[in-house]
Chains A and B, each alone.
Chain A
Amino acid sequence: MLNLLKYEFRKSGGIKAILLIITAVFQIVFMIGLFGDFEAPMAIGASSLMLIAWIGIGIIGIYSILTLHKDMNTKQGYMLFMIPKDSYRILGAKVIECGLSIWIMGAFFGALGLLDLSLLLKEFNEIDQIFDLLKMVIESVSELELNAGFAMTLVLFILTSWLFTVVNAYFAIVLSASFFNGKKFNWLISLAIFIAISLFISYIYNKLPIAEISAMKVSTNLLSIGFYLIPTVLLYFITAWIMDNKLSV
């Protein structure tokens, strides 16, 4: 399993390096603006960092989906599927790599954001007051209790739901490759299955009381994470079973 993980990380190493380089460039722009008192570079750097944080996490998930698609549809897949490992391990390595990458990148961008925010607060005291005011308004309007624990569980929930989306895409790709391979519009069937499952899970989630914004707090965020982990695990097992028994590459 560790060897499988090692090679999954190796496959996504290039895209992660590119993301880190882009992040480093924007961070430098931000620092130059901050310490050189240039407002424009500071604003560009800060907004670009926020953008790359969200896009970067999205890209990692999408790249993982594309890697599986490549493993299913090119000769390079032989490297993966002729080794003496069952599909639960092969897919498991992909899910773990993607999950860890999403969460580690999330933590990295979160830590970087906190660092930049503390630098900003140090340079501009009035920003502290603006944040306090903003927090007070949000708490009074939405009855949310904004604190570090809430923020962390909320981010974790968003990342977990993104992992569910990725595993759902794995399922759709494997289903398409196993049962609709060679058929016209197989990608359309695959896309339809992906959307249908996403909508179904989202529909069920929105029916639950934990989904209401006013009810959001640390405990409900944790329950929401648990909710999205259930279909993620379920889809993982079904996908691996299909790979073991029906998939031809």
Chain B
Amino acid sequence: MLESIEVTKKFVGKTAVDSATFTLEPGHIYALLGPNGSGKTTWMKMVTGLIKPTSGYIMYDSKPIGIQSRKEIAYMATEPYFYDWMTIKDVGKYYEDFFEDFSLSRFNELISRMELSEKLKTKNLSSGMSAKLKVAVTMARNAKIYLLDEPLNGIDLIARDDVMKTMLESASPENILVISSHLVEELESVVDRAIFIKDSHFAGLFDLEELRQSEGMSIADKYREIFGHGGQINA
């Protein structure tokens, strides 16, 4: 279980995340939704430990996040982040060296499926290839929590199907998947819960099935309600 308790992050002149409190449970795939600059990426980076909260706590299995939790949380940043001297093979080796839950054979299988050559230098990859590599190396871990920040950015429709398939293959009753994306409709068939972040504030966590049954709304409808003009939220 992952708990975000009154988590706030302030940068100079800006509050990126403001008192975000919600709980994520294993066995679910969450969409993390909100417009650009709403605080999604900052929240994910805080869970990963890359950014320290200004206040509040993030607990993983009732313990504050730290070195131990990094062993079990796989994060995929939206920007390319590999060392530019690395080849795709080096990236796999690097993850194998540092993450006990990383499977090199799974990684090789994924890059082969995504038609990536292991000899390619990461600095020469197109944005689509880079996105595929990020997904492959992240999903080759057998993590308890996957945080995927805009995994569908910059990739074409066919590659998108590959990426979606790869992400879903890793989902299990024991783990949590969090996917942030602007492509709300595309996530509809993949996720079963949605977290909305609006203007740095937590704006609601919804079970999609309940939403359909009780309010007759899709995730896209809810998105429009919350972020559309004059949208108000009753979390």
Show the binding face of A for B, using Cβ within 8 Å.
3, 6-7, 10-11, 14, 75-79, 81-86, 181-183, 245-249
Contact A249 B98 (CB under 8 A): no
The interface residues of chain B lying within 8 Å CB-to-CB of A182 are 11-13
Please name all residues of chain B whose beta carbon is closer than 8 Å to the beta carbon of A248 when the two chains form the complex.
45, 50-52
Residues of A with C-beta under 8 A to B94? 7, 79
Q: Is B154 close to A, CB under 8 A?
A: no
Give the complex CA separation of A6 and B218 in angstroms.
Answer: 50
Chain B min CB distance to A210 (Å): 41
- In the complex, which residues of chain A have a beta carbon less than 8 angstroms from the beta carbon of B68? 84
- Chain B interface mostly helix, strand, loop or mixed? loop
Main DSSP-derived SS at the A contact region: loop
CA of A246 to CA of B54 in the docked complex: distance in angstroms? 9
Tell me if A249 and B97 are in contact (CB < 8 A): no
Q: Given A10, A14, A83, A245, which contacts B98 in the complex, CB threshold below 8 Å?
A: A83
Closest-by-CB residue of A relative to B13 is: A182
Contact of A82 with B83 in the complex, beta carbons under 8 Å: no
Q: Are A82 and B49 in contact (CB under 8 A)?
A: yes
> Do A78 and B81 touch across chains, with their CB atoms under 8 A apart?
yes
Say whether, besides A86-B67, A182-B11, A76 and B51 are in contact (CB < 8 Å): no
CB pair A83 B99 closer than 8 Å: yes
Q: Most chain-B Cβ atoms within 10 A of its Cβ — which of A7, A75, A78, A82?
A: A82
CA distance in complex: A43, B67 (Å):
55
For A85, give its contact among B52, B67, B83, B84 (CB under 8 Å). Answer: B67
Q: Is A82's CB under 8 angstroms from B12's CB? A: no
Instruction: Please measure, in the bound complex, the distance between the C-alpha atom of A249 and the C-alpha atom of B99, giving whole angstroms.
Output: 20
Give the docked Cα–Cα distance between A96 and B71 (Å). Answer: 25
CA distance A79 to B75 in the complex (A): 11
Interface pair A78/B98, CB less than 8 Å apart: no
Contacts A183-B12, A246-B52, A249-B51: A75 and B81 contacting too (C-beta < 8 A)?
yes
Collect the chain B residues with CB atoms within 8 Å of residue A7's CB: 94, 97
Can you show 10 pairs from A to B with CB atoms below 8 A apart? Answer: A75-B80, A76-B81, A79-B82, A79-B94, A82-B70, A82-B75, A83-B99, A86-B67, A248-B51, A248-B52
- A77–B80 Cα distance when bound, in Å, is 11
